[in-house]
Structure 1
Amino acid sequence: MRADARPPAARRNPLMPARQDRRLVRTGDHWLHLPNPCGVPAEICARDDVPLEHAAVDEALALLETARTLERLAEATPGYDGPEPRIARVALTPDFHKGAGIPIGTVLETEHALLPQAVGNDVNCGMRLEVTSLRADRVRPRLDALERRLRHLSFEGGRRIALTPVQREALLRDGLPGLLLADGAPWQGVHSEDADDALDRMHAPGFPAATAEAFADWVGSAGGASHDSVIGGIGGGDHFAAGNRFFLSLTMRAGLAAECGGVDARLLYDAPHNLFWQDGDRVVHRKGATPAGGHEAMAGGPYAMWGEPVIVPGSMGAASFVLRGHGDPRTLASACHGAGRRVPRGASARGSDAELDAFLREFRVVTPLDHRDPVVARRSDVMAAWRRDLKQEAPWAYKDIGPVVSSLHGGGVAAPVAELRPLLTVKG
């Protein structure tokens, strides 16, 4: 990790469009405007060396047509005399790419409306960053043993994390605080910083409390009480995902402690994606995007002087970056959640075997399958399936992270603080 990190320069990607989409209008070195028939303000934060798919622009324009759909729904609803639902603004982050109906990297602000598809199925997909007392030179000599340990913990039943029905319900209903405080929880008092952080965030202004309880009054007053089940489902997904990241961190802590000796670890930040953020009648939807609030959003907390931590992971083997948010209104105080896919999964799976082999010689990926096991290596069918799966997440499948982070920096969205270089990746 190094402070005041500078992202690397871009590589030319032959699989992406060489020219900017003609429907986009560049308004500055780091910004483009997307004109649309509905007149919704829509901007993209991206330098000219960040590839943008034509198909993703198609999806963004189709999404903007939802503004007309909201108008027609209000007109066609018998007895509805409430405020007009509308899309107020759309921002697209540098990792913008085609999704399933709505582009990944979309930030959408609505008034008097909720759009569940603008959250998607993978509710509260997110990043959790922990800082340990270990130095890289202490871990490197133990990577072989750590790889075996993490495979056992992650995929071979070594975690031994068992939840009672009461604890599972507490997690889904009340999130991580409910789980940590539930009767019989074996980790009570062990990781108090996680409970404190989760409780603080639960009660902080602007926290994505996408639960039926938190939204019931607001949804009901807008005549949308029938949406409670949708909101409750998103809330349950939100809570489950936060708990899942917590357990993943416990697994990593256990593996490091077993192979590297005593380890002190603390949570730096847990950054959610794919949620609603509600403020009165205004709702910000982030699909494949993460909050990047400034000083005001962090007031009263440990990051008040810096801005919200923004975690932008690279692909397997590539650098990741930690930034501090500026609360930029053009992006609705949001940043990207990664480098962004540049090659579809199907095309990635047909990538070069030679490139994959070269990557695996230089970098460690812990998967359920140990490809170095001679018994496994003799199964050509198993190895072929394993290689296809790994290629879908290989470095060539993603954009270069350098121009993506530089776009955030130059566009005034977030400033780089540290660059993180990976030693090992665990991939399910």
Structure 2
Amino acid sequence: MKIITTEKIPIKTWAREVEEGALEQARHLANHPFARFHVALMPDVHQGYGMPIGGVLATEGVIIPNAVGVDIGCGVRAVRTNQKVDNIRTFLKRILNQIQQAIPTGFDHHKKPQKSPLFHRAPDVPVIKEELENAKYQLGTLGGGNHFIEFQADDQNYVWVMLHSGSRNFGKKVADYYNRLAINLNEKYGFPIPREWQLACLPLESLEGQQYLSAMNFCLEFARENRARMMNVILEICHSTLPDFTWDKEIDVHHNYASLEKHFGQQVMIHRKGAVRAEGDVIVPGSMGSPSYICRGLANPESFASCSHGAGRVMGRNEARRRIPVDEVIKEMQALGIELFKIKKKDLAEECRQAYKDINQVMEEQRDLVEVMIKLKPLGVIKG
């Protein structure tokens, strides 16, 4: 950990290097009038909207929509199976093909609305009510970008299934709506937060702050059930192909959210944007073609008990598409023996290994945040 002390509160960073755009955003956080204690930057930190991805922020009395992000509740689910690699490799292409047909990816949704008790618990918040019917078609869908379904092997050659997805359009609608509302309210209240920082906040005791909290927490529920639905489909397909297929460990973590927590003796709102609560079982996925890790969180108080949510980008999506030919990405996956399934491959370079930090270096930089328990190597992947 390194400490930057040039701002109103310190910036504590676990990243060996921080790009200037992300560092400038961290300075804004450190000078935010409602920020408390210090700003924590995880080793996968990179520039986002308003707050860097891989950042953790404590505030008092307010919540900041852009410090949670647009894919509220985005996270990772992982399951350990009873199958050895040799048992499943013969069937892997067939299984991946069936999964791709059963689970909509990208902008595709289910053709029929999905039923869930979750929809009956939707809060009475306008933006949630407006999106509720559309969400019934999105429950159990992967989405695009860096979302994935992956089969992996641990050190004992047991197969794991991992997937990464979030709250679909729910999260973006909620984030955009309440960020606009926060901008207007900050001007009304005269908060000294420059508009260009993109860090407008909602007072927790205000109606708007309470509504955002309700909407955000509902998005977390939706995202978790979204991952659970997809995992159930995957496991059913595996079981139908391999009748002796079972599983015995399931982990789920999300990495875009805010929660009231006690740190340094004070109740504060902890914003984790592209960061995971590092207590108990933790999943840190690598980039496409790289290892992923199952860890034990060390609850380091200096990081607000947080760790990285993945490898972290070193190239923007447009830059990756310009610099990295799709054919090279496909060849690399073939050379690594990884089965790749993606319907539209023109944007494949956006998620290739070269567009991200080295996950092994990220893990080295956060040795005081997590203890690695299991290293997982990719066997086959479906990209959104």
Tell me: CA distance 1:346–1:160, structure 2 relative to 1, closer, same or farther (3 Å): closer
Which residue of 57, 66, 73 maps to 1:124? 73
The code of the aligned residue for 1:311 comes to I
Residue in structure 1 matched with residue 328 of structure 2 by the alignment: 355
Q: Give the secondary-structure state (helix, strand or coil) at the position aligned to 2:114.
A: coil
Tell me: CA distance 1:413–1:172, structure 2 relative to 1, closer, same or farther (3 Å): same
Are residues 1:426 and 2:377 paired? Answer: no
**Are the aligned partners of 1:88 and 1:111 in contact in 2 as well (CA < 8 Å)?**
no
Residue in structure 2 matched with residue 251 of structure 1 by the alignment: 233
Distance 1:223 1:359 in 2: 52
Q: Root-mean-square deviation (CA), in Å?
A: 2.5
Report deviation, 1:260: 2.5
Residue in structure 1 matched with residue 370 of structure 2 by the alignment: 414
Residue in structure 2 matched with residue 60 of structure 1 by the alignment: 26
**Are the aligned partners of 1:152 and 1:158 in contact in 2 as well (CA < 8 Å)?**
no
Residue in structure 2 matched with residue 101 of structure 1 by the alignment: 50
Work out the percentage of aligned pairs sharing the same amino acid.
28
Distance 2:297 2:330 in 1: 38
Residue in structure 2 matched with residue 340 of structure 1 by the alignment: 312
Q: Give the secondary-structure state (helix, strand or coil) at the position aligned to 1:127.
A: strand
Q: Give the secondary-structure state (helix, strand or coil) at the position aligned to 1:422.
A: strand
Distance 1:388 1:163 in 2: 30
TM value normalised by structure 1: 0.65
Are residues 1:397 and 2:355 paired? Answer: yes
Report deviation, 1:113: 2.2
Are residues 1:310 and 2:282 paired? Answer: yes
Tell me: CA distance 1:255–1:394, structure 2 relative to 1, closer, same or farther (3 Å): same
Residue in structure 1 matched with residue 340 of structure 2 by the alignment: 365
Report deviation, 1:160: 9.1
Which residue of 2, 6, 10 maps to 1:41? 10
Report deviation, 1:222: 6.2
Residue in structure 2 matched with residue 81 of structure 1 by the alignment: none
Residue in structure 1 matched with residue 254 of structure 2 by the alignment: 272
Tell me: CA distance 1:268–1:353, structure 2 relative to 1, closer, same or farther (3 Å): closer
Are residues 1:320 and 2:270 paired? Answer: no
Tell me: CA distance 1:421–1:65, structure 2 relative to 1, closer, same or farther (3 Å): same
Are residues 1:291 and 2:277 paired? Answer: yes
Report deviation, 1:414: 1.1
Report deviation, 1:221: 10
Q: Give the secondary-structure state (helix, strand or coil) at the position aligned to 1:124.
A: coil
Deviations 1:207-236 (A, max 9, x none): xxxxxxxxxxxxx99642332221121122
**Are the aligned partners of 1:324 and 1:414 in contact in 2 as well (CA < 8 Å)?**
yes
Tell me: CA distance 1:257–1:222, structure 2 relative to 1, closer, same or farther (3 Å): closer
Tell me: CA distance 1:223–1:309, structure 2 relative to 1, closer, same or farther (3 Å): closer
Tell me: CA distance 1:222–1:314, structure 2 relative to 1, closer, same or farther (3 Å): closer
Deviations 1:332-357 (A, max 9, x none): 10000001111110011121344223
Report deviation, 1:272: 1.4
Distance 1:161 1:267 in 2: 31
Unaligned runs of 5+ in 2: 124-201
Distance 2:29 2:109 in 1: 44
Deviations 1:134-154 (A, max 9, x none): 111111111221122112112
Distance 1:260 1:52 in 2: 46
Residue in structure 2 matched with residue 115 of structure 1 by the alignment: 64
Tell me: CA distance 1:264–1:161, structure 2 relative to 1, closer, same or farther (3 Å): farther
Pairs within 5 Å for 1:224-243: 224-243=206-225
Distance 2:381 2:122 in 1: 28
Report deviation, 1:103: 0.3
Across the two proteins, how many residue pairs are aligned to each other?
A: 298
Are residues 1:154 and 2:103 paired? Answer: yes
The code of the aligned residue for 2:43 comes to P
Report deviation, 1:419: 0.2
Which residue of 79, 85, 101 maps to 1:136? 85
Deviations 1:299-330 (A, max 9, x none): xxxxxxxxx11211001111001111111011
Tell me: CA distance 1:150–1:327, structure 2 relative to 1, closer, same or farther (3 Å): same
Report deviation, 1:159: 8.3
Distance 2:234 2:218 in 1: 25
Tell me: CA distance 1:144–1:95, structure 2 relative to 1, closer, same or farther (3 Å): same
The higher radius of gyration belongs to 1
Report deviation, 1:92: 0.6
Are residues 1:90 and 2:39 paired? Answer: yes
Unaligned runs of 5+ in 1: 1-30, 71-85, 174-219, 294-307, 370-385
The code of the aligned residue for 1:120 comes to G
TM value normalised by structure 2: 0.72
Distance 2:48 2:203 in 1: 32
**Are the aligned partners of 1:150 and 1:366 in contact in 2 as well (CA < 8 Å)?**
no
